[in-house]
Amino acid sequence: MKKKLIVGNWKMNGSLAANQALLQALLAGMGQSACGVAVCVPAPYWAQAQVLLASGAIDLGAQDVSQHAVGAFTGEVSPAMLKEFGVRYAIVGHSERRQYHGETDAVVALKTQSALAAGITPIVCVGETLAEREAGKTEEVVKRQLAAVVHTNGHCISEIVLAYEPVWAIGTGLTATPEQAQQVHALLRAQLQAATSHADRIQILYGGSMNAGNAAQLLAQTDIDGGLVGGASLKAVDFLAIVSAAQ
Ligand code: 13P
């Protein structure tokens, strides 16, 4: 069986003091985890998190990465810079980046490529909006988003982590039912199977109002290999409960 992976996406939250308290509480409460655990912290805090997470029990992640390697790209952060701070994962194509920063499927595919080239594991996000779901377009949308990444990355696709995050479930308290999530995960898995013989080892995470109460049921689904957790990753007790639901 694939190891489960629980990833906290802190988004634009945190401070030196709050991060220290949260990370220390997570480390103290986690013990020996049978699943992978990572936190994606805002870039200015990587140096702090790298020191606090030196034991390796929790991996460090970024929330975005540049498609470019170096140069005149004001405000961008390259994958090589992530590497210098021990960052293992980078979220790519989160719906908030697609929505507020105009990231297209093509940009997301290039960011995936640039992360992979530097040895950073991209956590590629796909997901439909409420309007798209209501119009019966869920399958079409997530397939289109994943197809761009598959097309650009060829056989390296087996090195990604994929995350299904229905936009209507993010930060809203609305969660996809385990059956709704599994249905989309299964079709994403089938799409990966058509692209690589290693599709079964690709972790597909669910994200969208995952919490201590609903995690176990979601994680019990055949094709749900972990979670990408927003709000609940900011509270140690809640995040630890999700981690233990994944064991
Ligand atoms: P919430 O868990 O707050 O709904 O956020 C999910 C998310 O966007 C994780 O990337």
The predicted model gives 202-224 an average pLDDT of 97
Q: From the CB of 36, is ligand 1 less than 6 Å away? A: no
Cross-strand partners of 35: none
pLDDT digits (tens, 9 = 90+) for 91-100: 999 999 999 9
| Whether residue 155 lies in the annotated active site | no
**Active-site entry in 94, 128, 132, 159:** 94
pLDDT digits (tens, 9 = 90+) for 65-89: 999 999 999 999 999 999 999 999 9
pLDDT digits (tens, 9 = 90+) for 116-140: 999 999 999 999 999 999 999 999 9
Q: From the CB of 174, is ligand 1 less than 6 Å away? A: no
Long-range contacts of 114-117 (CB under 8 A, 24+ apart): 114/65, 114/66, 114/67, 114/68, 114/69, 114/78, 114/79, 115/65, 115/79, 115/82, 115/90, 116/153, 116/156, 116/159, 116/160, 117/69, 117/79
C-alpha–C-alpha distance, residues 121 and 163, integer Å: 12
C-alpha–C-alpha distance, residues 123 and 92, integer Å: 6
Q: Is 49 exposed, middle or buried (0-12, 13-18, 19+ CB in 10 A)?
A: buried
C-alpha–C-alpha distance, residues 130 and 82, integer Å: 33
Which of 126, 209, 235, 239 for mutating ligand 1's site (highest number of atoms within 8 Å of CB)?
A: 209
Q: Give distance in angstroms: CA of 76 to centre of ligand 1.
A: 23
The predicted model gives 31-40 an average pLDDT of 90
Q: From the CB of 230, is ligand 1 less than 6 Å away? A: yes
C-alpha–C-alpha distance, residues 149 and 63, integer Å: 18
What is residue 19's predicted lDDT score, i.e. its pLDDT?
98
Q: Give distance in angstroms: CA of 24 to centre of ligand 1.
A: 22
What is residue 91's predicted lDDT score, i.e. its pLDDT?
98
Domains belonging to the chain, first-starting first, are: 5-246 (3.20.20.70)
What is residue 31's predicted lDDT score, i.e. its pLDDT?
79
What is residue 1's predicted lDDT score, i.e. its pLDDT?
63
The predicted model gives 242-246 an average pLDDT of 96
The model scores a pTM over 0.95 = yes
Ligand 1: nearest atom to the Cα of 173 = 4
| Secondary structure letter of residue 117 according to DSSP | H
Q: Of residues 166 and 31, which shows the higher confidence score?
A: 166
Ligand 1: nearest atom to the Cα of 11 = 10
Q: From the CB of 9, is ligand 1 less than 6 Å away? A: yes
Cross-strand partners of 40: 9, 61
Q: Of residues 15 and 171, which shows the higher confidence score?
A: 15
Q: From the CB of 209, is ligand 1 less than 6 Å away? A: yes
Beta-strand pair 161-164/204-207: parallel
DSSP 143-179: HHHHHHHHHHHGGGGGG-EEEE--GGGTTSS----HH
Using the predicted structure, report yes or no on whether residue 34 has a pLDDT greater than 90.
no
Ligand 1: nearest atom to the Cα of 209 = 4
Q: Give distance in angstroms: CA of 139 to centre of ligand 1.
A: 20
Task: Extract the tokens encoding 41.
Answer: 């912290």
Pick the residue whose CA is nearest to atom 1 on ligand 1.
Answer: 230
pLDDT digits (tens, 9 = 90+) for 180-203: 999 999 999 999 999 999 999 999
Contact between 87 and 61 under an 8 Å Cβ cutoff? The reply is yes
Contact between 199 and 160 under an 8 Å Cβ cutoff? The reply is no
C-alpha–C-alpha distance, residues 45 and 208, integer Å: 24
The predicted model gives 218-229 an average pLDDT of 98
Q: Give distance in angstroms: CA of 190 to centre of ligand 1.
A: 25
| Whether residue 132 lies in the annotated active site | no
C-alpha–C-alpha distance, residues 20 and 236, integer Å: 11
Q: How far is CA 1 from CA 17, 184, 202, 203, 206, in A?
A: 38, 20, 12, 11, 17
Pick the residue whose CA is nearest to atom 2 on ligand 1.
Answer: 230
pLDDT digits (tens, 9 = 90+) for 165-185: 999 999 888 889 999 999 999
